[in-house]
Amino acid sequence: MTSDIYKDIILDYYRNPRNFGDLENPDVRAKDSNPLCGDIIEMQLKVNDGKVDDIRFKGKGCAISQASASMLTEMVKGKTLDQVKAMGKPDILQLLGIDPGPTRIKCALLGLKVLKLAAYGYLGQKITEEVRQLV
- Closest approach, Cβ 2 to other proteins, in A, equals 4
* Shortest Cβ 87–other proteins spacing (Å): 24
- Binding of other proteins by 61 (CB under 8 A): yes
Judge residue 69's burial from the number of C-beta atoms within 10 Å of its C-beta, 0-12 exposed, 13-18 middle, 19 or more buried. Answer: buried
- The 8-class DSSP code of residue 20 comes to B
Select from 4, 7, 14, 5 the least CA-distant residue to 69: 14
Q: What SS3 class is residue 31? A: strand
Sequence-ordered strand ranges (E) for the chain: 28-34, 39-48, 51-60
- Pick the closer one to other proteins by CB: 1 or 124: 1
- Residue 21, number of CB atoms within 10 A of its CB: 9
Residues 6+ apart with CB under 8 A from 58: 20, 21, 22, 41, 42, 44
Smallest separation (angstroms) from other proteins to the CB of 55: 23
Q: How many residues bind other proteins (CB under 8 A)?
A: 18
Counting contacts by CB under 8 A, is residue 81 touching other proteins? no
User: For other proteins, which is the closer residue by CB, 15 or 127?
Assistant: 15
- Please state the closest distance from residue 65 (CB atom) to other proteins, in A: 8
Q: Is 38 in the site for other proteins (CB under 8 A)?
A: yes
What's the CA gap between 34 and 69, in Å, rounded? 13
Which of 64, 72, 112, 134 contacts other proteins by CB under 8 A?
64
The residues in 96-135 that bind other proteins, with binding defined as CB under 8 A, are: 100, 104, 107
Contact residues for other proteins, defined by CB under 8 A: 1-3, 5-6, 8, 11, 36-38, 60-64, 100, 104, 107
